[in-house]
Structure 1
Amino acid sequence: MGYYVKVEPDVKIYVEDVNPKGNKTILFIHGWPANHNLFEYQFNQLPKKGYRCIGMDIRGFGNSDKPWEGYDYNRLADDVRCVVEALKLKDFTLAGHSVGGAIAIRYMARHNGYGVSKLALFAAAAPSFTRRPNFPYGLPKEEVTKLIQGTYTDRPKMLQGFGDMFFFQNTTCPFSDWFFQLGLQGAGWSTAALATTLRDESLFPDLGKICVPTLILHGIHDKVSLFPLAIVQNRGIKNSKLVPFKYSGHGLFWEERDKFNMELTQFIEN
């Protein structure tokens, strides 16, 4: 079931609601530069176990509207709040991958975890996606700037290059093309704007404001959100659990999908 939620007078967010009658709800926020279809291998399986799986397309991506502005963490967290209120979600698990994890963390801090009973972070781009003077764990800012420049000069080439660093395990050509098409569904300006947010914004104070049980899943071979970020998250978030994925890069939800789904469901049930 797919529908739209108005988050601003002229901006609507697309929401895919799989198994609306499920007993427990998970709201998924995808990473850059894809859309909710990134979680296909969760939506295929988790509803069989009775879960309601909701995937929202971040503004500018997938089937959502693509406004010129609104790609900072505060506005994106506010978009999540609009979806939560429109769907009247309560006692749900908020799950975010990469920049979606960063947005989830900002939501927890900015909206006091409204409606959230548990938080799940997958290769989250937090507390800082890029290196800073007192934070040597992220990507060099220059690498993210190259992605932004590539978006403006040859976005298909940039997306293909990003896809090559996304997965640790080998992918088939059809799968790589599918992943590539997800990125093409975003607008160029939103792809660049969200990458700029990834490069420039941070969430250091937000970690300490999270008060719900938190699961951190992270591939040890991640070349996008480097594994040390997960260690920092684990140290900064009270009542959090870190599970390393030994055979995954940034795409652990596909590369070790059976383990991924098992860890997520066990976390929700316990």
Structure 2
Amino acid sequence: MGYYINVEPDVKIYVEDLNPAGKKTILFLHGWPASHKLFEYQFNYLPMMGYRCIGIDTRGFGDSDKPWRGYDYDRLADDVRCVIDTLKLHDIVLGGHSTGGAIAIRYMARHKGHGVAKLALFAAAAPSLVQRPYFPYGVPKEGIEEMIQETYNNRPEMLRRFGQRFFHKFITESFEEWFFQLGLQAAGWATAAIARTWLGEEGLFTDLGKIFVPTLILHGIHDQVCPFALAEAQHRGIRNSKLIPFRDSGHGLFYDEKDRFNQELIKFIEE
């Protein structure tokens, strides 16, 4: 079941709601530059196991509206709050991949975990994707600046190269094309705006200490997009967190080791 939810008077975001009668609810926030369809191999399986799965397309991406503004973490976290309130969700598991993980962290801090019983982070781009004088574990900001310029000059080529770094295991040409098309569905300005958010000074360092719910951190040790050191920093900063390394995965661990990913997520939900 898919529908649109107004998060501002002139902005609607797309929500996919699978198995609304499920015993427990997982709300998924996708990573850059894709859509909720990134979790296809979770949505194929988890509803069969009795879970309700809700996927949000971040504004600017997938089937959501693509406004010119609103791509900072605060606004994106507020969009999540609109969905949770509109659907009257409570005691959910909030799961976020990459930038979706960063949005989930900001949501937990900004909205005090409203409606969320557990948090799951998958290769999250937090507490800072880029290196800073006080945080050397991210990626050089020059690489992000280059991606922004490529987005403005030749976005398809940027997406092709990004896709080649996303997965650790071999993927077929047809699968690579599927992933590429997810990125093309986004607006170019939204793709660049999210990347500029990574460069901003609003890192998520203080947000980590405001998370009090049980938190699962899943992260591939071969991740070329969000280095594994970010997961270790999350683990240090979030009380009551558990870090599980995926030793045969890159950034796309939900596909690289999808069976293990699904099982670890179910185990966490049922704990």
- TM-score by shorter chain over 0.5: yes
- Name the counterpart of 2:100: 100
- Name the counterpart of 2:21: 21
Deviations along 1:139-194, whole A, 9 cap, x unmatched?
A: 10000111100000000000000000111111000000000000000000000000
In structure 1, C-alpha distance between the alignment counterparts of 2:11 and 2:123, rounded to whole Å: 28
In structure 2, C-alpha distance between the alignment counterparts of 1:227 and 1:125, rounded to whole Å: 10
- Name the counterpart of 1:260: 261
In structure 2, C-alpha distance between the alignment counterparts of 1:11 and 1:217, rounded to whole Å: 32
In structure 2, C-alpha distance between the alignment counterparts of 1:212 and 1:75, rounded to whole Å: 22
- Name the counterpart of 1:110: 110
In structure 2, C-alpha distance between the alignment counterparts of 1:160 and 1:248, rounded to whole Å: 19
**Match of 1:217, as an amino acid?**
L
**Match of 2:91, as an amino acid?**
D
In structure 2, C-alpha distance between the alignment counterparts of 1:147 and 1:30, rounded to whole Å: 19
In structure 2, C-alpha distance between the alignment counterparts of 1:144 and 1:240, rounded to whole Å: 29
In structure 1, C-alpha distance between the alignment counterparts of 2:90 and 2:11, rounded to whole Å: 24
- Aligned positions of 1:53-132 closer than 5 A: 53-132=53-132
- Aligned positions of 1:129-140 closer than 5 A: 129-140=129-140
- Name the counterpart of 1:166: 166
Q: Could you list the runs of 5+ residues in structure 1 that have no partner in the other structure?
A: none
- Name the counterpart of 1:48: 48
Sequence identity (%): 70
Equivalent position SS for 1:113 = coil
Q: TM-score, normalised by structure 2?
A: 0.99
- Aligned positions of 1:246-257 closer than 5 A: 246-257=247-258
In structure 1, C-alpha distance between the alignment counterparts of 2:198 and 2:191, rounded to whole Å: 11
1:10 and 2:40 equivalent?
no
Equivalent position SS for 2:206 = coil
- Aligned positions of 1:177-188 closer than 5 A: 177-188=177-188
In structure 2, C-alpha distance between the alignment counterparts of 1:199 and 1:165, rounded to whole Å: 20
- Report the count of equivalent residues: 270
In structure 2, C-alpha distance between the alignment counterparts of 1:269 and 1:72, rounded to whole Å: 33
1:231 and 2:244 equivalent?
no
Equivalent position SS for 1:5 = strand
In structure 1, C-alpha distance between the alignment counterparts of 2:11 and 2:109, rounded to whole Å: 24
Q: How far apart are 1:198 and its partner, in Å? A: 1.6
**Match of 1:99, as an amino acid?**
T
Equivalent position SS for 1:74 = helix
Q: TM-score, normalised by structure 1?
A: 1.00
**Displacement over 4 Å in runs of 4+:** none
RMSD: 0.4
- Name the counterpart of 2:145: 145
Q: How far apart are 1:74 and its partner, in Å? A: 0.2
Q: How far apart are 1:199 and its partner, in Å? A: 2.2
1:155 and 2:155 equivalent?
yes
**Match of 1:183, as an amino acid?**
G
Equivalent position SS for 1:209 = coil
In structure 2, C-alpha distance between the alignment counterparts of 1:239 and 1:268, rounded to whole Å: 15
- Name the counterpart of 2:242: 241
- Name the counterpart of 2:223: 222
In structure 2, C-alpha distance between the alignment counterparts of 1:198 and 1:171, rounded to whole Å: 28
In structure 1, C-alpha distance between the alignment counterparts of 2:134 and 2:122, rounded to whole Å: 24
In structure 2, C-alpha distance between the alignment counterparts of 1:71 and 1:94, rounded to whole Å: 20
**Match of 2:208, as an amino acid?**
L
In structure 1, C-alpha distance between the alignment counterparts of 2:129 and 2:113, rounded to whole Å: 22
**Match of 2:21, as an amino acid?**
K
Deviations along 1:102-161, whole A, 9 cap, x unmatched?
A: 000000000000000000000000000000001000010000111100000000000000
Q: Could you list the runs of 5+ residues in structure 2 that have no partner in the other structure?
A: none
**Match of 1:227, as an amino acid?**
F
Equivalent position SS for 1:206 = helix
**Match of 1:39, as an amino acid?**
F
In structure 1, C-alpha distance between the alignment counterparts of 2:198 and 2:248, rounded to whole Å: 25
